Structure 1
C-alpha cells in the first residue's frame, strides 16, 4: 500500500501511537536537556546529561525523571498526528501526476507541517518546561524538589504563589493543571502561547530540514515507489534526519526554552522577546550557550523520530481500524 492510500484516521492513529511510544522512551533525556539549557554561567547545578539524571534520581526519585511527562503523553498524540499527517497532506497536494517531489517542494511540505503543529506544541512545551525545570530550581535553592520557590516574570502574584512556598501550610506544589488555570485566568489563552514566535523559529526550520532529509534517505532502500522501505531502514532514516535537524535548530530551542520558563532562580535574568533573549545570551554567556543541551536534544529526537517513522510506516493505525466498525470513524 502506498502512503497516499492510507486513510486520514489511520494516519492520525499512527502518529499518535508513535508519539506516545517515543516520548515514553526518551523523556528523561528531554528533562535533562531542559535543565541544562536553563542553567546560567556560574549557577550550574548539573555538569552533564548523566550528572543531571543521577542527581535527579537521587533527589527526586526515579519518577522525578518523568516530571512533566503526563503533559507530553496527553498532548503528544495530537501533536505528532498533526505533524505527520500534515506533511503527508502537503506532499500529496504539491505532487503532480504521481511524480516525485523536488527537494524544494519537500521543504515546502515540511514548512507547512511545522506551522500546523505549533497549535499543540506551544502550550504543551510551555507547561512541560515549568514542570521539568522545577527540580533544577529546587536544587539550586536547596528546598524540597516538590516545590520550586522562584519568582515568576511577567505573571501575576496569583501564579507566583503556585511556585512559592509560603509560611503557612499547606505547601502548594507545581502541577500542569494549576499552571494552566492560573495562566488562563490572568492572561487568557495568550498565556499558554507564550513563546509562540520562538516555537515557530524552531519547528518550521526543523521540519524543513527533517522531512526532505528523511524522505530522500529512506528512499535509498525503497524497492519501488509503491513499496515501503524495510522497517529498520525507516528507523535509521528517522534517527539520522531527526538528530541532524535537532542540532541544526538547537539555538532556537535554547531561546524558546528560556522564553517559556516562567520561574526564575536567583539572579536569573528575564527576557522581553526573541531579540532581547538572543542579545542577553550572547552578551552574558557567549555563543556557546546556544549549543546547550544539543547532545541531549539529538539523543531525544533521534530515537523519537526513528520510532515515530517505524510506527507510522508499519501502519499500526490500519491494523486498529480493521477492528473498529467503519461507522465509528467514517464521515
Structure 2
C-alpha cells in the first residue's frame, strides 16, 4: 500500500475518518439543517428544545443510518482523491510525488476534490436532509391528510374520500427510511431529482475544501514540534477542528441555499433554482438568513473535523505498516 503512484490506503483511512465524524456530528447537523430550511425556529436553542420536546433525543439522530453508510464512502472519495491528486501535482511540478506540497498545490487539489465530491455528495445530502426535515409523526400526517382531503369535498362518498386520504398521505412524502426516500424522489422527480441543490453544493464545496485542507496544513505546521517529522495526535486533532470550523462558517451562505433547495418538497416546490432561492430568501428574511446556522456550523465543525482528521491520520499510519 505504500508504493509510489496511486494509493488505496488514503481511501481506506478516509472511510474510517468519515464514519467516525458522522457519529460525533449528526445531532448538531440535524439542528443546522432545520434552522437553515426555515421551519419557524427562533434560535439554535429553540430548535434544540423544540426537537427534544416533540421527538425526544431520537429526533437528533433522524437520517443517521444513511450518512453512516454513505458519508464514510463519501469521505473515502474525498480524502483518497485529494491525497492522490496532491501527489500527482507534486510529481508534475517538482518531479517527485514525495516533495512537500506548497499551499498553492494543496489549494488546487482541494478545489478539484470539491468539484468531484458533488457527484456523490449531492444525493447523500439530499436524502439526509429530507429525512431530517421529517418532523411530523405518522399520526399527524394521517390527520393532516384527512383534513386536506375533506376540505371542500365533505359530500364525497366514503370510498372516494378514503382514496383521497391515502393519496394525500402518500404525497406528503412520509419516508419510511433511506431506500424509500430515494425511491420516492426518483419516482416523483426523476433521477435528476437526486441532484437537486447540486449547483449550490458546488458553490459551497469548491472553495469550501480549499478552506478546509489549506488551514489544516497551516495549523499542523504551526503546532508541530521542532524537528518532528509529523505532528502529535493532539496537534492533528486541534488543527483538524480549527480547519473544520473555518471551512463550515465561511461556507454557511452557500450551505443555506443548498439546504433550502434540497429540503424543498417536490409537490410544494418553493424555489425554481439557486438565484430564485437567494432572491426569495433575501426579500422575505433579509441578509441575516444566509448566516443562519453559522453558530451551529462553527460548533459542529470542530469535533466533526477534529475526529475526521485524527481518525484519518491514525488509520493511515496503521495501513502503511502493511
TM-score in terms of structure 2 length:
0.82
Secondary structure at 2:133 match in 1: helix
Matched residues in 1 for 2:315 and 2:232: separation?
Answer: 13
* Alpha-carbon distance in 2 for matches of 1:317, 1:101: 19
- 1:22–1:219 Cα change, 3 Å: same
Q: 1:238: which partner in 2?
A: 240
Q: Which residue of 1 aligns with 2:121?
A: 121
TM-score, normalization by structure 1? 0.80
Offset at 1:49? 2.4
Q: What residue is the counterpart of 2:22 in the other structure?
A: 23
Query: Corresponding residue for 2:222?
Result: 220
The match for 2:42 among 47, 56, 74 is 47
Matched residue, 2:89: 94
What's the offset of the Cα at 1:250? Answer: 0.4
User: For the Cα contact (< 8 Å) 2:10–2:316, is it kept in 1?
Assistant: no
CA distance in 1, matches of 2:208, 2:121: 13
CA distance in 2, matches of 1:145, 1:17: 38
Aligned-pair RMSD on alpha carbons?
A: 3.3
Instruction: Classify the secondary structure of the residue corresponding to 1:270.
Output: coil
User: Deviations for 1:250-294, whole angstroms, at most 9, x for unmatched residues?
Assistant: 0000000011113399xx971111111111111111110000011
The secondary structure found in structure 2 opposite 1:304 is helix
Residues 1:159 and 1:106: Cα distance change in structure 2 (over 3 Å):
farther
Give the conservation status (yes or no) of the 8 Å contact 1:94–1:105. Answer: yes
Greater mean deviation of Cα atoms: 80-89 or 52-61: 52-61
Q: Is the contact made by 1:27 and 1:66 (CA closer than 8 Å) also made in structure 2?
A: yes
Q: How many residue pairs were aligned?
A: 298
CA-CA distance at 1:5 after TM superposition: 6.9
Using the TM superposition, give the Cα deviation of residue 178 of structure 1 relative to its aligned residue in structure 2, in angstroms.
1.6
1:273 is the counterpart of 2:278? no
Is structure 2 residue 60 aligned with structure 1 residue 82?
no
**Which is richer in helix?**
2
User: What stretches of structure 2 of length at least 5 have no aligned partner?
Assistant: 149-165
Distance 1:160 1:83 in 2: 40
1:34 paired with 2:33, answer yes
Q: Which runs of 5+ in 1 are unaligned?
A: 152-157, 166-171, 323-331
- Alpha-carbon spacing, 1:27–1:159, altered in 2? closer, same or farther (3 Å): farther
